[in-house]
Structure 1
Amino acid sequence: MADLFAAEPDPAAPADTPLAERLRPASLDEVIGQEHLTGPEGPIGRMVAAGRLSSLILWGPPGTGKTTIARLLAGAVGYRYVAISAVFSGVADLKKVFAEAEMQAHSGKRTLLFVDEIHRFNRSQQDGFLPYVEAGAVTLVGATTENPSFELNAALLSRSQVLVLHRLDEAALGTLLERAEAVSEAPLPLTDDARAALITSADGDGRFLLNQAEMLFAAGIAEPLDTAALRDLIQRRLPVYDKDREGHYGLISALHKSIRGSDPDAALYYLGRMLTAGEEPLYLLRRLTRAAVEDIGLADPQALVQCMAAKDTYDFLGSPEGELAIVQACLYLATAPKSNALYMAQKDAWKSAKEHGSLSPPKHILGAPTKLMREQGYGKGYEYDHDAPDAFSGQNYWPEEMTPKTYYRPTDRGFEKRLAERLAWWNEKRQEAQGEQG
């Protein structure tokens, strides 16, 4: 079935042919929504103009044209087109394809091998493409919905150009519906609002949209449906989201960065995207807790408390009631004062610990449980801070071989502003005390 659809319907197609097939493009310039690739200045347009292809990885969401572009690309430059699916093909199928491609190459016929869902092949299978790609027996065009940098071998990526296909926008999807109405010789039985809702439900997937349109044409609806009636009739479309793949990592990154950027509405949107798609709530709570200590820290110590309380509440109530506590934690974090001073302090302190990890603390702060240790000066000269004025002795606590460092630099935001004032006062008193000792 086609992924993108023709600028004009095919009059030769039988009436019972699926709608998407009847709207199949006949040339690259009829492909909708990917002009940044197929246009004259795009990489595919330039390859066609030159009459020679390089191996490609087409990366994009479902229903955006990967299969269609590969087929049309082969025709545009006169290559033999062979298509396989990584879901249904194995090593024996690949060997057969490569053998046929080599035979065709001897007679001067080049082969474009299209591999749908190429990320489904394991690493060793992907390595099997390399000698044939390098020898020019095949020009590989792989299609994937997953991030190639995660799913494909580095060696294969280095021999291919990755092209990113965009999800179809509302204008492109609206054009598809107009083409569908033209080939069906009837308007869709929808109000304007319901038509807009149908386009939104497609989530950028042209194939899904045309399948829904075909169902509406076949239903024999007498009066136009409004949005509520349309929702009752069509299948609810679940968000495209793989919990262990690109969608997962992209959305959790967007959630974390929206919190860091103090945008509570964007944060709530991405939280909703993940929860409604079936993400594990406790995973989200772990990531929110991480944001609380990484991006807020002591600017608002209650941020961490809110996350732990949300975790306890969710454990107690479960879904869906407990999800409201996750929402509360998310909004608290997004609206809290921000500071990464704690995070940066950890990084700097850990770095020093690795560099100076074997240095002993000064003897006056070491315990002296034995007589020998006391004779060696352990604990000698230690001042108990609670006996000092203001409960602060100002002693040196650093190894003798190290210059005291400053790791934690509080901001002037939230509770850290008070901490900064307290630390400044302590530093002043410490300099006075150590000056007297010197």
Structure 2
Amino acid sequence: MIPLPERLRPQTLEDWLGLESMGASLQNLFEAIRNDSVFSFILYAPPGTGKTSLALLIKKHTKSRFFQINAVSSGVKDLRDIFEQARAWKQRADQDSVLFVDEIHRFSKSQQDALLSAVEKGEVTLIGATTENPSFELNAALLSRVKIIYWDRLGSESLLEILQKGFELLKAENTSTEIKLDEDFLKILSESTDGDARQALQTLERLFPTLTRTRLADELKKAFLKHDKDAELHHQIVSAFIKSMRANETEAALYYLARLWEAGEDPLYIVRRMMIFASEDVGNADLRALAAMNAIRSSVEFVGRPECYYALAQGTILLSEAKKSREVGDRFQKALEKVRRGGSLRPPAFLTNAVTNFDRKSGKGRPREEGESYLPA
């Protein structure tokens, strides 16, 4: 059976929910789709927010020949075949071509390079979809030839509207089935799936027709949080955690700690970042911080998940509320600058050891003169 998210894809631009609340760039894009004047762009958005649905709507509205590939399963040969077909259709029927590349961030550098000439010459209009920041994943030459369009995860109101449509469709398809629907079931689901319409609809279909809070609570134990350890969001959450502690915003720091925890982050990775913070941001302003982090590391190693979150939370509160000083790092960086600027300068003679007679004759190991610097001259 076709999954509910697929059955519920918008069939027209008018079916698209939340269009009126979208930014100017997205409204301009929808106007271009209506006028069949789509330009090359990369759509950067979280999973389950409608990237593929938008591409399929473009396919419906355009008179251009439409090619669709997934970067995971396609290579340079596939691209060259498409470009040959695009040139042939242009020559034979004066028909333009649109190429939709899903998960375009998966393309290697050579595959991205293969797109450049065709896009630059106008042989294809490129539409790329990605969940990863294009600035990190796509090369500069390709980025300079396309527009980057970003939209955020779906808000709970838009997601609730989608879920209501999904529920009505399931109800219409199962007229002889007895349905149990707890009050606020759809609202709770809309607020618990991290803005991912696909996940929300799949959950609705799995639990149908017994849509109770108890079953939903069991289902939601399987976290929906996005947190790919190699992706940008992971680093954003870690950065938010560190910056919240730096700003003495304890509740925010605990929130981002909980985000890391709930997404399955390695507790030892978190402790490692906290130990760095203890030296970098607290430093000598509170000497207990580094000692406490060592104790917390031992606790985390010994106790492990799940109870080690007590130690992590304890450390987060301590670091967030401690006095801050970046003196340690700042002064060491100044020392590094002197080393890099001065090169391999020899220490003053009074700091060196006189091992041989020649050393002694050359002044090594001599007494320090009054006012003489300990630094190389």
The residue aligned with 2:232 is: 246
The residue aligned with 1:175 is: 161
Name which of 183, 186, 203 aligns with 1:212. Answer: 203
Deviations 1:26-69 (A, max 9, x none): 33343224656576874414534775332211111111011111
Deviations 1:144-184 (A, max 9, x none): 11122222222222212111121001111111123234444
Question: Is 1:139 matched with 2:130?
Answer: no
User: Closer, same or farther in 2 for the Cα pair 1:237/1:312, shift >3 Å?
Assistant: closer
Structure 2 unaligned segments of length 5 or more: list them. 173-177
Question: Is 1:236 matched with 2:222?
Answer: yes
Structure 1 stretch displaced more, 316-325 or 204-213: 316-325
The Cα shift of 1:283 comes to 1.8
Name which of 99, 102, 113 aligns with 2:84. Answer: 99
The residue aligned with 1:149 is: 135
Instruction: Report SS of the residue matched to 2:191.
Output: helix
User: Closer, same or farther in 2 for the Cα pair 1:394/1:265, shift >3 Å?
Assistant: farther
Alpha-carbon distance in structure 1 between the residues aligned to 2:85 and 2:318: 62
Amino acid corresponding to residue 102 of structure 1 in structure 2: R
The residue aligned with 1:122 is: 108
The residue aligned with 1:417 is: none
The Cα shift of 1:395 comes to 6.0
Question: Is 1:27 matched with 2:12?
Answer: yes
Question: Is 1:317 matched with 2:303?
Answer: yes
- TM-score (normalizing by structure 1): 0.76
Instruction: Report SS of the residue matched to 1:142.
Output: strand
Residues 353 and 364 of structure 2 are in contact (CA less than 8 Å); yes or no, is this contact kept in structure 1?
yes
The residue aligned with 1:3 is: none
Question: Is 1:281 matched with 2:267?
Answer: yes
Residues 223 and 263 of structure 2 are in contact (CA less than 8 Å); yes or no, is this contact kept in structure 1?
no
The residue aligned with 2:29 is: 44
The Cα shift of 1:351 comes to 1.0
Residue-pair matches, total: 371
The Cα shift of 1:232 comes to 3.0
Residues 115 and 141 of structure 1 are in contact (CA less than 8 Å); yes or no, is this contact kept in structure 2?
yes
Instruction: Report SS of the residue matched to 2:222.
Output: coil
User: Closer, same or farther in 2 for the Cα pair 1:185/1:330, shift >3 Å?
Assistant: same
Structure 1 unaligned segments of length 5 or more: list them. 1-15, 384-392, 401-438
Residues 188 and 213 of structure 1 are in contact (CA less than 8 Å); yes or no, is this contact kept in structure 2?
no
Alpha-carbon distance in structure 1 between the residues aligned to 2:366 and 2:287: 37
Alpha-carbon distance in structure 2 between the residues aligned to 1:350 and 1:329: 30
Residues 34 and 166 of structure 1 are in contact (CA less than 8 Å); yes or no, is this contact kept in structure 2?
no
Alpha-carbon distance in structure 1 between the residues aligned to 2:77 and 2:63: 27
Name which of 345, 356, 366 aligns with 1:359. Answer: 345
CA-atom RMSD, angstroms? 2.9
Alpha-carbon distance in structure 1 between the residues aligned to 2:323 and 2:220: 45
Amino acid corresponding to residue 68 of structure 1 in structure 2: S
Structure 1 stretch displaced more, 107-116 or 273-282: 273-282
User: Closer, same or farther in 2 for the Cα pair 1:234/1:242, shift >3 Å?
Assistant: closer
Instruction: Report SS of the residue matched to 1:320.
Output: coil
Instruction: Report SS of the residue matched to 2:90.
Output: helix
Question: Is 1:81 matched with 2:58?
Answer: no
The residue aligned with 2:175 is: none
**Who wins on radius of gyration, i.e. which is larger?**
1
Name which of 363, 374, 377 aligns with 1:397. Answer: 374
User: Closer, same or farther in 2 for the Cα pair 1:122/1:65, shift >3 Å?
Assistant: same
Instruction: Report SS of the residue matched to 1:201.
Output: coil
The residue aligned with 2:148 is: 162
The residue aligned with 1:61 is: 46
Alpha-carbon distance in structure 1 between the residues aligned to 2:52 and 2:9: 11
Instruction: Report SS of the residue matched to 2:226.
Output: coil
Amino acid corresponding to residue 283 of structure 1 in structure 2: Y
User: Closer, same or farther in 2 for the Cα pair 1:42/1:344, shift >3 Å?
Assistant: farther
Residues 60 and 164 of structure 1 are in contact (CA less than 8 Å); yes or no, is this contact kept in structure 2?
yes
- TM-score (normalizing by structure 2): 0.87
The residue aligned with 1:265 is: 251
Deviations 1:86-145 (A, max 9, x none): 223334433332222222222221111111111222221221111211121111111111
Structure 1 stretch displaced more, 315-324 or 294-303: 315-324
Alpha-carbon distance in structure 2 between the residues aligned to 1:126 and 1:372: 64
Deviations 1:318-355 (A, max 9, x none): 32233432222222111111122222222222112111
Alpha-carbon distance in structure 1 between the residues aligned to 2:192 and 2:214: 13
Alpha-carbon distance in structure 2 between the residues aligned to 1:193 and 1:43: 36
Residues 48 and 77 of structure 1 are in contact (CA less than 8 Å); yes or no, is this contact kept in structure 2?
yes
Residues 256 and 291 of structure 1 are in contact (CA less than 8 Å); yes or no, is this contact kept in structure 2?
yes
Alpha-carbon distance in structure 2 between the residues aligned to 1:372 and 1:21: 86
User: Closer, same or farther in 2 for the Cα pair 1:233/1:330, shift >3 Å?
Assistant: closer
Q: Percent identity?
A: 40
Alpha-carbon distance in structure 1 between the residues aligned to 2:84 and 2:74: 15
Residues 71 and 81 of structure 1 are in contact (CA less than 8 Å); yes or no, is this contact kept in structure 2?
no
